[in-house]
Amino acid sequence: MALWLTSSQLGIRREIQITNFHTDQKFTEYTIEIFLDDIKWHVKKRYSEFAEFHEELIKQIPSIDAKSLPPKKILNNNSPDFIHRRRSALDNYLKYLFKFFTANSMQLPECFVKFLDFHLYEVHGIVRKLAEELFLNGEKLLSTTGKKAFSISPLQMHAITRRIKLAEPPCDSNDPVKDLSHVFDFLCYVKYVQIVGNPDSFGTSTIKTQFLSFDVSFFKSVEELEKLFCKTETLDLSYNLLETTIDHLQHLHFLQNLNLSNNHLHDVSDFNARVGNIRSLDLSCNELITTDGLSRLYSLITLNLSSNKLDSIKNIESLGSLPCLENLSLKNNPLTRIVDYRIRIFAVFHNRAKDVWLDGQMPDQRELDRAAVISAMTRAKQNEAAQATMLVKKVLSPTKPIPLSSSLLRQKSNTNMKSMHIASSCPSNLLIIEKQPDVVLDTTSSDTTLSTDETNIS
């Protein structure tokens, strides 16, 4: 992002040059390229526009050499030799202005800003232009009925974010209409916002707006925020009094880093469905009691859970399934008071314990050895429990009936007839089991007596 600072800084590129020109029958147009740091853009100007600009400039800054602009020529001003000489002279004139403003640590005058399109590509120019627009139309936009969204570009949001970090007064020009406070007053009250990006380079510059970072915390009253053509990679939603997770995060397909710190979140059960491809997640200073909803964030590398309400190793065991996790912070949680807390945490990761940094420190060999013992014991108990569960299920599962041959069926039929004959002569205190006709229970005795038909017959 282009930024002009009043003090010259080492390593900041500031260059201007006329790279080309185009001549037709009436006039010649010169192509001017401007470099600020890593940003480049170009404008096209005629000599008459140079003359108007210079006249306005020397009115604002009398110390500028009035003869620095090459003089106007009436006759034979379209000859190739003259155009080349004028191009070189205009190039020197622009370089002289750049050196003048840099040497005197001056803010760029408004006529210079508009002449070279600084109001489209440079931080101060963008913010001043937006401040002027909101000063003139802000109240009308806020009083509009219905859900008509205020449209703003990622470039403008990025410029506001950069401008607020500079150690400069809100009004850096002599015009109070362009005061930065007009922007913040409007953003504080606007309710419906639409951030409209563009997948292409902005204007004639090399600025890619979809890759610009910006802060949305300026919107204090916003109810709906829509982003179009934004490839958001980093999103900071800290200090927003959030109690539940944010809807529509799943639509940010390029999101890599998410900061939800210093909110009031207590449940992250659906995080994998919302931010499945995230690499860095900051959930510090919330009210979490478990991490179950984070167990399927398979791309997660850095996780900050410090200053929550995690009070048991069991509550973070689900993190052991994260194959890429390398940095984990659990500081200021109740579980950190558990004896051998670090060792027990490393045991959760089993064979990956050596790859995980806990609270900013990598494990030492002693911690790894003891964690391996705990991990082996835990797995052994889990295997025993699994085998016991399988055995119980096998015992309780119904047995399948065994098909009988025709001879066995006839034999069983004869046996049933014998049992019926014997049962008719048995006393009333004998109970016949219908499902097992060959077994008789004596219900009068304290001990159960089993007798086969063969015994009764004999």
Q: The domain 120-328: what is its CATH number? A: 3.80.10.10
Count of Cβ atoms closer than 10 Å to residue 37 Cβ: 15
Give yes or no for residue 445 having a pLDDT over 70. Answer: no
3-state secondary structure 83-95: HHHHHHHHHHHHH
Q: What pLDDT does residue 33 have? A: 96
Q: What is the mean pLDDT of the chain?
A: 82
Q: What is the pTM of this model?
A: 0.62
3-state DSSP assignment of residue 315: helix
Give yes or no for residue 95 having a pLDDT over 70. Answer: yes
Which pairs from 339-348 meet CB under 8 Å and 24+ separation?
A: 340/370, 342/367, 343/367, 343/370, 343/371, 343/374, 344/313, 344/371, 344/374, 345/313, 345/316, 346/371, 347/371, 347/372, 347/374, 347/375, 347/378, 348/313, 348/316, 348/317, 348/319, 348/320
* 34-77 pLDDT per residue, tens: 998 889 999 999 999 999 999 999 999 999 999 999 998 877 77
CATH superfamily of 14-115: Phox-like domain (3.30.1520.10)
* 308-363 pLDDT per residue, tens: 999 999 999 989 989 999 999 999 999 999 999 999 999 999 889 999 999 999 99
Mean pLDDT of 164-182: 86
Give yes or no for residue 419 having a pLDDT over 50. Answer: no
Give yes or no for residue 196 having a pLDDT over 50. Answer: yes
Cite the residue boundaries of each domain of the chain with CATH code 3.80.10.10: 120-328
3-state DSSP assignment of residue 33: strand
* 289-323 pLDDT per residue, tens: 999 889 889 999 999 999 999 999 999 998 998 99
8 A C-beta contact, residue 399 and residue 375:
no
d(CA 345, CA 356): 10
Cite the residue boundaries of each domain of the chain with CATH code 3.30.1520.10: 14-115
* 267-288 pLDDT per residue, tens: 888 787 878 789 999 999 999 9
3-state DSSP assignment of residue 142: helix
Mean pLDDT of 109-119: 92
